[in-house]
């Protein structure tokens, strides 16, 4: 079991949703927070809320898709805090559209943020996590990194890529006996604004999709944060967040490639 008191924890996408809730949960445990988001005002508010709990919390406006900015951010955090103990790459966006109707520009947009943002964060902070002597890296994928769903091909691609990268990196650091733990986080339906802020394909009813998501999202950001921290405390390789995540993770194990037929049936019923 890890203790995060006085540890420096870096969280991207900390302006809202899971990122903000995770920052506050870590603050309650006495961690020092280095927080980033593309929305500077929102992440500054998160830092203020964390500081009100009696911990050091600093905020940066950073685009995780910008490699140079992320590497500079890592140097800035080390200069400000003296080192890094935990890095959580959480920033992410969504697209709901048929693959044939998803433009190359939209594919690049989601991969730049979800996948490359995670790669930049992992590679920029990994050397500092190693230097800490007991570092911890966690990358947020999704249950859509465990199963594929029609009209979410671009999102699936980004989240499956995060999973593959993270699981391979965990093997590498263990083979090299590096003092770093690596975890992949798979949230289920969390009551955040990710769908409300998503891009939608032509003809897609974004309001209807968002409404269905809100109806079936069973986990609050605060509950997700507590679940994530419990997984991190135990150095779990895969952290499933929410009861729906555990159910979804079982589908390909039980049904193999035929799980897709269950997804298709559900989509027909929901008319999504």
- Please tell me whether the overall predicted TM-score, pTM, comes out greater than 0.85 for this model: yes
Least confident of 75-89, 179-193, 195-209: 195-209
pLDDT digits (tens, 9 = 90+) for 167-178: 999 999 999 999
* Six token digits for residue 138: 């966690």
Identified catalytic residue from 4, 71, 155, 259: 155
pLDDT digits (tens, 9 = 90+) for 141-162: 999 999 999 999 999 999 999 9
Kindly report the backbone phi and psi dihedral angles of residue 258, in degrees, each rounded to the nearest multiple of 5, phi listed first.
Answer: -75, -5
Q: Is 155 a catalytic residue?
A: yes
What's the number of CA atoms in the CB half-sphere (13 Å) around residue 94? 20
Segment 204-233 mean pLDDT: 91
pLDDT of residue 272: 67
Question: For all residues of the chain together, what is the average pLDDT?
Answer: 96
pLDDT digits (tens, 9 = 90+) for 102-135: 999 999 999 999 999 999 999 999 999 999 999 9
Kindly report the backbone phi and psi dihedral angles of residue 8, in degrees, each rounded to the nearest multiple of 5, phi listed first.
Answer: -90, 120
pLDDT of residue 30: 98
3-state SS class at 22: helix
| Rg of the chain in Å (alpha carbons) | 18
The pLDDT of residue 204 is above 90: no
3-state SS class at 21: helix
Triad 168, 107, 266: Cα angle to 5°: 80
The pLDDT of residue 216 is above 90: no
* Six token digits for residue 188: 């289920």
* Six token digits for residue 1: 């079991």
pLDDT of residue 211: 84
């Amino acid at each position: 079991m890890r203790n995060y008191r006085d540890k420096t924890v870096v969280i991207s996408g900390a302006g809202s949703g899971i990122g903000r809730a995770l920052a506050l949960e870590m603050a309650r445990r006495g961690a020092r927070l280095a927080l980033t988001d593309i929305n500077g005002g929102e992440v500054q508010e998160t830092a203020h809320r964390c500081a009100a709990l009696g911990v050091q919390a600093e905020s940066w406006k950073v685009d995780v898709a910008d490699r140079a900015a992320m590497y500079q951010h890592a140097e800035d955090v080390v200069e400000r805090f003296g080192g890094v103990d935990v890095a959580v790459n959480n920033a992410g966006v969504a697209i709901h559209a048929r693959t044939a109707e998803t433009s190359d520009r939209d594919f690049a947009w989601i991969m730049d943020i979800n996948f490359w943002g995670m790669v930049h964060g992992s590679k920029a902070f990994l050397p500092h996590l190693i230097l800490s002597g007991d570092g911890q890296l966690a990358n947020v994928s999704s249950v859509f990194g465990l199963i594929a769903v029609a009209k979410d091909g671009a999102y699936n691609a980004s989240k499956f890529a995060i999973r593959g990268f993270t699981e391979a990196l965990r093997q590498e650091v263990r083979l090299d006996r590096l003092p770093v733990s690596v975890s992949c986080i798979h949230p289920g339906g969390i009551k955040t604004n990710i769908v409300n802020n998503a891009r939608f394909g032509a003809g897609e009813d974004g309001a209807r999709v968002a409404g269905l998501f809100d109806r079936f999202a069973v986990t609050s950001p605060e509950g997700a944060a507590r679940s994530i921290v419990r997984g991190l405390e135990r150095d779990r390789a895969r952290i499933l967040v929410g009861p729906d995540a555990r159910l979804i993770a079982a589908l390909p194990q039980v049904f193999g490639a035929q799980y897709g037929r269950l997804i298709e049936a559900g989509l027909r019923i929901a008319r999504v």
